[in-house]
Structure 1
């Protein structure tokens, strides 16, 4: 996986899923073949979002983190089951949940949040 790209848009992979992390955590996440966050064990799935949900998720859960990197995931490469399920905020539509560990080879791009646009 290369360094984060500039001018990252969702147009290259319109059905992409997104995960976001403090940039300092990215090397450790990408160093393993699978990603197994605590939410997989506590909630039974990995929380992800679609491009139009990124801003909402950042404001709701990552507001105080200044340096975020998005992992762009091609859902066709994900080996675990993906379900789109409703959340408490219906105006953003159903959120993608990954029911199993995420195979890192499904991550097709990474970009700094400041360089992302839908």
Structure 2
């Protein structure tokens, strides 16, 4: 099961994690089964935890679908849901599969997301 850890970290902590992964690769060791998304500013992390964004997470987890269908299930404007989904895609939390027909299918990039944050 792939897990994504969402945390806040300093630039140095972020770089240290990168060095650790590079060292594992150099040594031919297996990589962790989890990935990490780090925010330097805890306020940026809190933007991700808005109630409408959490509802969007739950809706995609419950049933991956098109932006239009997800927006209808959440009773939100399609454009607002599209903006949120594009931001989540930019962060690596969701992926949008684009079919040859032009249809899009939104799904989470991991089965589990773990929040690990120091507020102060």
TM-score when scaled to structure 2?
Answer: 0.30
Structure of larger gyration radius: 2
TM-score (norm 1): 0.31
The structure whose RCO (Cα within 8 Å, separation 6+) is larger is 1
